[in-house]
Structure 1
Amino acid sequence: MAASLLDQLMSSLRCLPGVGAKSAQRMAYHLLERDREGGRRLAAVMAKAIQQIGHCQRCRTLSEQELCQICSSKKRDSQLICVVETPSELAVIENSIDYRGHYFVLGGRLSPIDGIGPRELGLDLLAARLEEGEIEEVILATNATVEGEMTARYIHDMAEARGIKTTRIAQGVPMGGELEYIDGATLAHAFAGRSNF
């Protein structure tokens, strides 16, 4: 017997991070009992976003265009590139501090056990950017986890082989912490106190 439409809705909502069975049930009932119009808007925008939002061809963040607004801006410092793990971490940096350089979004971190190697993180694209000769400093803003540190070491070695300075954001970010959940003041302090890798 097929699951009811209500069960399908609750099951679908559970794909979101941090949403368990109870939260999904509350959301589903709220949309159906109190805000059907909001549910319609949510469904329409989600469908449109999933179809139209892709990745920037240069930095790999989420973008509706081939090049995101940051990569297409002439006002950014093309000598600086900050490497982050996710688009949400890029957004945290953009919204918290006055960083004016460019970015590269890995989409994860090296994890051989999970089959995530340099190719899956687009490190060939990063290497090509480093080869262009414009970048003078790579700022490593990977998370302070074992995999994040391994990823940072790999990128440091790539940059060092090309004679490019590598810095690491200061460790005001707690070990095991995720940038997405760090407050702006802590992140600003960590960025200002970055040191050579």
Structure 2
Amino acid sequence: MTKYFSSRAVAAALLLAALAGCAAVKAPDVAPSAPPSQSVADADRKLAQAAQQRAAAEAEFAASEQVCYTKFLVNRCLDTAREKRRLALAGLRVIEVEASRYKRQATVDERDRELARSEAEFKADEAKRAAEPPPPPREETAPAARKPTRDAAAERAGKAKKRAAQDQADAAKRADSVAAYEKRKRESEERQRKVEERKKARAAEAAAKK
């Protein structure tokens, strides 16, 4: 009798599981959407929140796995946990894609604006230069007038006369130097001769005393 009731209990449990599987038909997927970002700061905020929510979804799935392994219908529990994580990450992915695309477009727009400003400044500078009057021609300084030929000849003659006088003075100095050298040479030879004579006299006196 007990065996009969035990078999009926197992059959009832399997029937309930089957009915639960039929009831747990996956709802049709609905494409997630994200509100458009209004600024770069708004996009940064969305990306930061999505990163936090992604970490929370992964942590929740890891905890659900541990719980599922304690249940009778492990695979069904894991499938439910995986589906929940998939839906959560899909929604976060949409937010991340939208925010990242907004930031890239904002960078491109800022670069285009900067190029437009630079081009406008260049054109304004070119227009300003074109409107300015040309600078006046530079006056060339006239070369100094040459001295008359007579003055140049007189100047050359004066220089030649000074050179001749300087040459005569130099020659006189050289002659004086030669004369002084010859005098010193004669005096040196005379002193040397007297020294030799004294040596000979002392040698003769020494020989006579022997």
Q: Does 1 or 2 have the higher relative contact order (CA < 8 Å, sep 6+)?
A: 2
TM-score for both structures, normalised by structure 1: 0.16
Larger of the two Rg values belongs to structure: 2
TM-score for both structures, normalised by structure 2: 0.16
Return the structure number with greater strand share: 1
Return the structure number with greater helix share: 2
